[in-house]
Amino acid sequence: MIVRGGENLSPGEIEDVLLTHPAVADCGIVGVPDEEWGETVAAFVVLHEGHSATGEELAQHVVSKLRSSRRPSVVEFCDELPYNETGKLLRRVLREQLVAKSS
């Protein structure tokens, strides 16, 4: 759960919308610390081979289907997402990568 300005946001809801974009093969949503809102939405996206998309394009895709509070303020592109042996997305690892990158 991401708590943004007192509102609870479901990462799965945002991921479901991103996965409807034709260029997106896989994605993971995490909350990252934000001074103004408490947390903000960050998206980690794996694109289908041969496809391209910009972070702004993907953020607009989310806003076209969901409320603007669910708009990713950070979009990171990666080759693959970290999963454990049972297939669960390791959101903690994604969050740590983003925090380490911004430090």
Domain ranges of the chain: 2-102
Kindly give the pairing relationship between strand 38-47 and strand 74-77. parallel
Distance CA 4, CA 11 (A): 12
pTM for the structure as a whole: 0.94
**Helical H runs in the chain?**
11-18, 55-65, 91-102
- The arrangement of strands across the sheet holding 38-47 comes to 24-34, 38-47, 74-77
pLDDT on residue 101: 81
Q: Does domain 2-102 have CATH number 3.40.50.300?
A: no
What separation, in Å, do the N-terminal and C-terminal C-alpha atoms of the chain show?
23
What band does 44 get if pLDDT is binned at 50, 70 and 90? very high
pLDDT on residue 27: 98
